Structure 1
């Protein structure tokens, strides 16, 4: 059903282009073969990268997360060796601090304080209970009313003696516990100082590592982690994951990456399970992806070009035209503009839809082609996969669509405010529990095929997160055929490209 199971991706810091590297079924198979050879029980991430060398041969790199190195595995990032002596000194100092903290946390005064405190609490409680019983007896005797003044004074003296006894016991408690508390507080204060010293040393060492760690990309650029991330805070361990190691080493060797896969092996934990594949971690790896993938700019596949028009095979995930925000500047139009070509898109494809996109080289050509679209003289055929088997083999979906201005670009079926929308569908194949369909839109509303599939057939397109399609690596909707009349030659142009899924 699909060759790609995940995309490593990032925005190129130089061009703003969205760069992607797939995890494929082949990469997963190679990774699964690697799993059978791992004997280390310690749980950690492992990864493989398929790369093409200058001779066109495929090489396989493998890496594991962390600082260790082993023969046959991708080494750590270049630069750490420059600070080995300083790192060793700091690590020894950190170990000394650790041992002193352990020693201070286990001083005998802690146990002595707890034992004495518990002992005095028992004595005080027993004394209070005895004195309470004595007081009740004195009160009873007083209430009888037949005591003389001397006997009453004796009772009062007993009360005063008990009060002095309680005071004396508390003074004794204070004399015993205060020296212990003083030593414990001194140890606690020293632990606070040592922990702060440890934090400072760790931070200094981390900054030193980030200044020395050198990352390389496929544009030939080389930057330290510190320069790459600027003022952004870097979590401990940044640069020690599999993906940065693999991409950095591939760039240094002059390999062109084809696919990559990362998996967890060893004892499972709350977040990771043995044998499962995972994508780039958000904290440490994802911020580096844009730089690491730079130089892998995917050229747009031109399927037709003449003096007036260009037709391309737009990949899924790429905008037709740029949006208003910085993270939506990677688009077909902008990529051509960087090549010195100012093209005008005659129509649009959704960002997640792949397939034929037609662009005009001049305003006159654009107007002629736009008229054909407006007059419904252009034939468009899409192919899609639905996540269930549908019963009708073909038919026309006729549902009016309306887009709420407050919830763009989401479209809904609305019989009062919606615009007339018609889509022809035909089942062209059934694969397991999936249906493969051709869609021919007679009108050109936003998200028309996606909404008509979900609302008209009751099944969302596979991977359509917006309209409740079953989760997948991509939206399985592809514009595979476009037929129109050339505005200059008047000849009919039939463009057809294969469906990639």
Structure 2
């Protein structure tokens, strides 16, 4: 396959940082050395160029790009898709699948045909006519039994009233009482007969359904066994090669544990294997989701994701083995310091870097992580507030717990003055004003925030127009509250400004980065009690 040029995806005249936003990591199986490959802002820009070429897609899947260096020192781009693309495993211009599948092609075709027959039989058994017949009859009998029960209760009440009135003639009372008892016995007989009729009509249907359910369980077990057998065969024939020139099968790499379906078909293994077997040196890699959201809604179009924990991460140490490790490790990268004393430190956070580390291993690089690594007193440093990963600008960190408490209190009591600058992806008519829209984060749709008056928290933002450039509008925002994504939602929502911030893919605008910058911050210094006013230039 031909190699793409970075200029096919981005304008090389644009200044795009090589700052890492994520690290693919693993440990060499032989030496135990930690191995890393970054995702950088530059390779993200290349990926965004690929997104534009993909256009609209109804098929949601992962895509990946790998920036490589050839033996002549030129930079080139490899691109890959997970699984199938429009039903095809091999597509011109894309990295091919990992070799080995052709060796089990006959077994795969036979197994897939058998699995298809099982699927059709399962569908037929689940759509068995007796199921609907059983439900209809059961409902009809239940209705008849309920009506009969109401009638019997009514008769029972009438009999009780008659027995109470039988006091005049003993002989007549005994005769009527016997009639009432006979009526009661007949009601019981009627109910039993209806139940017997119900059982007689429903039992054959129930037996057919039970036989079908037993067959379904057998077929599912058979399907599971066939799938495992095919996966085992494929994993024995799938061979990966690393940058040390060593090749192993998936079965050898993940021996003793079950491998999820699709292991080896993800973008990262395909890209790294191809680079290793074609003497290409990886520089940076990015993987993203494109198309309709994933079934569980965890992956959304245009978002970047790291190595998946089940399929890719177990292979990463082997795949990166033999790859030269550069000296620039994220934790040792310095940060622009705006202010520093013995109580606090203020940095100019670059876009693409977290304020604090995430919960998982693939999102540990952050301002806090770096400062804790770089500063002598780093372990005591604490972030007083946070900026979104893609937001740049002023971030304040305390160097002791007392300072942290005092500064946090100022933020909580809204005594800190904050000014953000943003470029909006459209024209805004209003010159200035206040947006008061409560925000709510749906736990089932994180991290997206929405305007929700019944459930949302109060969220207030002042805004002021600065300038217009073509169809773009430069705005100044001063948030009173500090909700997650507050400025971003207040800008994008039609009840706010109705225009998303340029580069805010989460709320409907494309671009090379999120054009939102924390420009100014002023607060009372916890020790000197003097107002500390901080300003940093907007980088866009």
- Flag structure 1 segments of 5+ consecutive residues without an equivalent: 301-314, 318-351, 355-382, 400-412, 414-424, 435-444, 469-501
Matched residue, 2:376:
448
**Alpha-carbon distance in 2 for matches of 1:195, 1:23:** 41
Q: Is the 8 A contact 1:450 1:461 kept in 2?
A: no
1:430–1:260 distance in 2 versus 1, CA, 3 Å: closer
Instruction: For 1:53-132, list aligned pairs within 5 A.
Output: 53-67=70-84, 68-132=89-153
Q: Is the 8 A contact 1:21 1:258 kept in 2?
A: yes
Matched residue, 1:199:
224
Give, in angstroms, the shift of residue 31 of structure 1: 1.5
Residues 104-143 of structure 1: CA deviation (Å, up to 9, x unaligned): 1111111111111111112112222222222222222221
**Alpha-carbon distance in 2 for matches of 1:10, 1:277:** 19
Give, in angstroms, the shift of residue 432 of structure 1: 9.0
Secondary structure of residue in 1 paired with 2:234: helix
1:115–1:446 distance in 2 versus 1, CA, 3 Å: closer
1:10–1:431 distance in 2 versus 1, CA, 3 Å: closer
Let me know the Cα RMSD of the aligned residues: 3.3
Matched, 1:21 2:37: yes
The TM-score normalised by the length of structure 1 is 0.63
Between Structure 1 and Structure 2, whose CA radius of gyration is higher?
Answer: 1
Instruction: For 1:173-252, list aligned pairs within 5 A.
Output: 173-252=198-277
Give, in angstroms, the shift of residue 10 of structure 1: 0.9
Matched residue, 1:285:
312
**Alpha-carbon distance in 2 for matches of 1:70, 1:2:** 30
- Choose 191-200 or 272-281, whichever is displaced more: 272-281
Residues 43-69 of structure 1: CA deviation (Å, up to 9, x unaligned): 111111122222333222110111422
**Alpha-carbon distance in 1 for matches of 2:33, 2:194:** 79
**Alpha-carbon distance in 1 for matches of 2:19, 2:186:** 92
- Flag structure 2 segments of 5+ consecutive residues without an equivalent: 1-16, 354-372, 384-394, 406-540
Residues 283-329 of structure 1: CA deviation (Å, up to 9, x unaligned): 211111100011113276xxxxxxxxxxxxxx536xxxxxxxxxxxx
The TM-score normalised by the length of structure 2 is 0.59
Q: Is the 8 A contact 1:384 1:461 kept in 2?
A: no
Give, in angstroms, the shift of residue 203 of structure 1: 0.9
**How many equivalent residue pairs?**
345
Matched, 1:460 2:397: yes
Secondary structure of residue in 2 paired with 1:168: helix
Secondary structure of residue in 2 paired with 1:37: helix
Matched residue, 2:321:
294
Q: Is the 8 A contact 1:217 1:247 kept in 2?
A: yes
1:53–1:85 distance in 2 versus 1, CA, 3 Å: same
**Alpha-carbon distance in 1 for matches of 2:374, 2:41:** 33
Give, in angstroms, the shift of residue 453 of structure 1: 7.2
**Alpha-carbon distance in 1 for matches of 2:152, 2:47:** 78
Matched residue, 2:477:
none
**Alpha-carbon distance in 2 for matches of 1:89, 1:27:** 41
1:461–1:272 distance in 2 versus 1, CA, 3 Å: farther
Give, in angstroms, the shift of residue 431 of structure 1: 9.0
